[in-house]
Structure formats: C-alpha cells, structure tokens
Amino acid sequence: MNAFADKHQLHNHRWYKALRCKDKSVLETLIAYTKSGARAAAHTTLETQTEGTSIAESRVVGQMGVENALKSSAALHPFVNRTAKDALEFVALTVRASATADGNPVTRPQPGAALGVARVANAARSAALHACGRPPAAVRPPTASGMGVLWSVAAQELSPRNEQAKTAPGVLERYALLAQLRAESAVRPQGAFRGGFSAPAQHAANGYERYIRDETCRALPSAAGGMTRSFIGIKALLSVHEGVWGAAHQLAGEAERLHAQVAAMNADRRETSTRTAEVLGTSCRPAQRLEPLCTPATGFAKGFQLNELLRRCMQTRTRKNEPCKLLLGVYTNAELNREMPPVMDTEPMPLCTICDFGLRVPTEVGASDGAGIPDHVQHPRVQGCPVDLSLHVCLDGAIRATELIGALDGAGEIHKQRALLYVGSSQASFISEAGTAISAAQANANINSSKKIGVRPHSNPHSVSALTPQPFANGSAPT
C-alpha cells in the first residue's frame, strides 16, 4: 500500500478521466474554484439526477444544492489556496563576532552573514525563550538510546514591537553580550569604590537591558507561568521520498545565491547602529520551487496527526447526569443533576502533547547529491534518512517511565515499580487504541459519504501526511 507514494501520476490520470466524464458536474460541486462554478455545477447535477421529472424546477431543492456546493467550495479553499506570501522566505542576517560568549573557536560564529528562515506570514507566532536544565543523570535516558531531555526552568515570551525585531529579535544575542560584559567586569580590580561595570560597559549594558525589556514579556518560572515544557531529542530515521531531495536541492541553491549576494555586501565590516543580528536581505521565489511529495507518511507524521486529534477530541464534552458508567447504591436527584464540568478540563488525556517539533538533517547527509538511492530500487523510491528530531512537549520535568521505574531500584519498592509499569502500559495502550479509533472513524466516515472532503488514501487510516494535505472528494472520486 505504500506504493501510493508513487501513484501520484495514476491519481492524476484518474482525475483527468473523471473530470471529463459525463458526471463531472458531481465533482465540480465539490471542488469548484469559483462560486459561480459551484452554482452551475449544482444546477447541472440536479438536472442530471432528476432527469424526466420536475424536481429540478423546485427553487427550494435547487437552493439547497447550491448552498451545499458553496460550502464545499469554501471548505476546500484553505487547502488549495496558497499565495506567494505563504511560501518559505530566506533571510540573510549579519553575525557579529561579539554576539556570543562561547569561547569555542569551532562553534563560535565568525563575523559575516548567516541565513535563516522567516515564519510564514499571518501564522500564529508566539515565540518564547526557555531557560533549560538537564535532569539528574540517574533519570536521563541512556546514551545508547539516542534520546536526550531538557527541562524548561523559566520562560520568557517575545513581544517584538518593531518590524526589525519581528524578523530578527536579537534578544538572545543581547543576553550573550550582557553575559560577556559581566565576565569581563569580573576580572576588573575590586575595591571599596570599584567593581561592577566600567562606565562605557554600564552604558552598553543599560542599552541591552532596555531593549530586552521592550521586546519581551517578563520571564517567569515555566510551571508557575502556565507554560510547562520539556524538550525531548530523538535520533530518528525517517523515510524520505526521492522527490523531497529535489525540492531540498532547489531550496539549497536559492539559499546559496542569497548568501553569495550578502557576502558581496561585506557583511562583517558593514557599518551599522546595532551590534547584533540585522536583516540584510530576503529571498522568496515560490514560482521556482518544487512541492515535495512527503509520502509515505513517517511514523512521526502519523503520531503528530494523532496528537492533534487526541488533543481536541474531548473538548466541550460533559457527562451530563452520568457521573460514572454504572451508578450503584443510593443517590439523590440533587447529586445526579449536579452540573458537570467539561471532561477535558477535569480528566486530562494521558497524552504527552507535542506542541512543536524540529527536524535537523546532519550536514553529512545533506552534502551528497541526490537521495543516494540506487537505480535498481523500485518504486516507491524512498530511503531512510537519519535526522535529529526535537519534540516540545507540554510536561513539566519529563522523565521517561522506564527511568522512573529505574529510580526506584534498590529502594525495595517493587510494588511501586510494578504500579508504574502497569499504569504506564495502560496509558500507552489507551492512547494507541483511542487515537487509531478516532482517526479510523474519520477515514471511514469520509469514505462512506460521498459529500465529504477527505485526503488521499494511504496504507492505514492515520497515515495521512501531516505535511502535505492532498484534498479530493471521496465517494464519487477515484480512490
């Protein structure tokens, strides 16, 4: 079934045929590009279906068909309507030598230009800085597992005011400069009337602190501030389709061209009023880019979709007058009719909610030309690519259950260890079972109904790629 990854052309062929058959108006009621087209398709469909009767002349029935077609067209619009503003944009920034307190000459950025990627316009942007600590060694995942954990200790949300700060906040750089000033002032001769910053350093430090105050919210302890976060790093192996490499090389070429342009501007010697990152130029060429085929969906993509489904599935649900599955014994009507709060709030899901993630491909992987897939490999032409996956999860002080159980070793707490094992296994089974049931039910509902918007089929119901929705109409469309 994974061959769906390379049946893109087959689907296109079926679509080509379907859009030219005599019943094409049915499809057009679902995927019309304009409202007038949807209306016309609805009228045509009704006339075809009620041929030989006078039903098509009914204004009420006709209006219902038109409304449904318009709703479908409007629902599809966000999926397929992408403007040039939504395309990824490269940003070239200056890098100052003093912008880091890291003394390592290997990792320390050299003066010059660096490239970054801007966030999509109009996307939710609530960036925050997290001060993190590592868990004690006893409860860290073993090195051989390829996992790492960080605990967020304090968080500070960015609230950029000016346009420059929205693209290049420069807050971290100023924190690094402040740390550098403090390190330098620590070696100054101390005395009754000496110490602290020198006058020029004090002036600079005041400027940095003022900027940080202006461009950020107040830093708060993570848990107390309502932003419980832990960061889990996993060395993973993702299946990457051959087409993704082509798209990546195109992006790399665009980035290299931008870097060459910026290098010609002598970024390292550029005279500027700011000592931190400054935007030198941008590049966004959506017309030249390729849309990668992100199928077959990876295990992580499936998991991320389950994450989104499970995260929302209990919202606004209440157990009205049903405090338990089967009520036994004596109770009063007052107890039974007591207003029940929403289930989601009182009974949180045992889901380690992923609120953000990052993927980093090692440099040596991206350096080779092409996907490196041998010619004899048949379709689908995919290859496992080692990546560093970082998960931002909404847990305060995350410790893997196996390490929690291990922490109780030697304490003579065999019953407690067993309790953690049983409950942990139960919660894993719950998420596994509930998640697949929810996603499978949606897939079944979409397939069984001819008027639903679905996504292209995969080998299993929740293997829909979270990255590239490919909408089409189920039922009357070829699946």
Partner 1 sequence: MNTLALLSIYDVWGGGINNVQRSFPATPYSGAYGPLVQHGLTSVGLMGHFFRSDGRGHGSHTLSPECADELAAKLADEAHWLRVGAKKYVQAPIACRGIPHGFAPGVHTVLDEYVGALEHAYRLAGREESPWTKLGLFSLPFSGVTQARNAIEPFKPLTR
Binding partner 1 (rule: CB under 8 A), the pick from 92, 240, 349, 477 is 349
| Residue with smaller CB distance to partner 1, 312 or 379 | 312
Instruction: State yes or no: residue 286 binds partner 1 (CB under 8 A).
Output: no
Q: What number of chain residues touch partner 1 (CB under 8 A)?
A: 115
Instruction: State yes or no: residue 338 binds partner 1 (CB under 8 A).
Output: yes
Instruction: State yes or no: residue 385 binds partner 1 (CB under 8 A).
Output: no
Q: Round to whole Å and give the CA distance between 332 and 174.
A: 63
Q: Round to whole Å and give the CA distance between 262 and 254.
A: 13
SS3 readout for 287-309: HHCCCCCCCCCCHHHHHHHHHHH
Instruction: State yes or no: residue 404 binds partner 1 (CB under 8 A).
Output: yes
92 φ, ψ to 5°? -100, 130
> What's the start-to-end Cα distance of the chain, in Å?
13
Binding partner 1 (rule: CB under 8 A), the pick from 195, 253, 286, 341 is 341
Half-sphere exposure for 337 (CA within 13 Å, toward CB): 3
Binding partner 1 (rule: CB under 8 A), the pick from 437, 453, 455, 467 is 437
The SS3 call for residue 70 is: helix
| Residue with smaller CB distance to partner 1, 142 or 253 | 142
Instruction: State yes or no: residue 430 binds partner 1 (CB under 8 A).
Output: yes
Instruction: State yes or no: residue 431 binds partner 1 (CB under 8 A).
Output: yes
Instruction: State yes or no: residue 372 binds partner 1 (CB under 8 A).
Output: no
Instruction: State yes or no: residue 420 binds partner 1 (CB under 8 A).
Output: yes
Instruction: State yes or no: residue 459 binds partner 1 (CB under 8 A).
Output: yes
Stretch that binds partner 1, among 116-124, 165-173, 194-202, 403-411 (CB under 8 A): 403-411
Q: Smallest distance from the beta carbon of 149 to partner 1, in angstroms?
A: 9
318 φ, ψ to 5°? -135, 150
Q: Smallest distance from the beta carbon of 120 to partner 1, in angstroms?
A: 24
Instruction: State yes or no: residue 331 binds partner 1 (CB under 8 A).
Output: yes
Stretch that binds partner 1, among 26-34, 87-95, 278-286, 461-469 (CB under 8 A): 461-469
Judged on CB neighbours under 10 Å (0-12, 13-18, 19+), 328 is exposed
Instruction: State yes or no: residue 383 binds partner 1 (CB under 8 A).
Output: no
Instruction: State yes or no: residue 220 binds partner 1 (CB under 8 A).
Output: no
- Cite the DSSP H helix spans in 187-294: 199-215, 242-263
| Residue with smaller CB distance to partner 1, 181 or 240 | 240
Element (H, E) at 404: helix 401-407
| Residue with smaller CB distance to partner 1, 44 or 239 | 239
Binding partner 1 (rule: CB under 8 A), the pick from 351, 382, 473, 477 is 351
Structure tokens at 288: 């030249």
| Residue with smaller CB distance to partner 1, 60 or 144 | 144
Q: Which residues pair with 435 in a beta bridge?
A: none
Interface positions, 138-167, toward partner 1 (CB under 8 A): 138-139, 142, 144-147
Q: Smallest distance from the beta carbon of 173 to partner 1, in angstroms?
A: 31
- Give one word for 171, left, alpha or beta, with left for phi > 0 and alpha for psi -120 to 50: alpha
43 φ, ψ to 5°? -65, -45
Q: Round to whole Å and give the CA distance between 317 and 341.
A: 9
Q: Round to whole Å and give the CA distance between 163 and 449.
A: 47
Q: Smallest distance from the beta carbon of 295 to partner 1, in angstroms?
A: 15
Q: Round to whole Å and give the CA distance between 297 and 87.
A: 22
Stretch that binds partner 1, among 24-32, 278-286, 321-329, 374-382 (CB under 8 A): 321-329
Q: Which amino acid is at 458?
A: H
Q: Smallest distance from the beta carbon of 349 to partner 1, in angstroms?
A: 6
| Residue with smaller CB distance to partner 1, 131 or 407 | 407
The SS3 call for residue 92 is: strand
Q: Which of 369, 338, 349 is nearest to 427 (CA)?
A: 349
| Residue with smaller CB distance to partner 1, 32 or 391 | 391
Q: Which of 179, 158, 170 is nearest to 93 (CA)?
A: 170
Task: Specify the residue for token string 């109770």.
Answer: 331
Binding partner 1 (rule: CB under 8 A), the pick from 266, 444, 449, 450 is 444
Instruction: State yes or no: residue 464 binds partner 1 (CB under 8 A).
Output: no
Q: Which amino acid is at 247?
A: A
Stretch that binds partner 1, among 82-90, 92-100, 134-142, 153-161 (CB under 8 A): 134-142
Binding partner 1 (rule: CB under 8 A), the pick from 64, 260, 327, 377 is 327
Q: What is the DSSP letter of 476?
A: S
| Residue with smaller CB distance to partner 1, 152 or 276 | 152
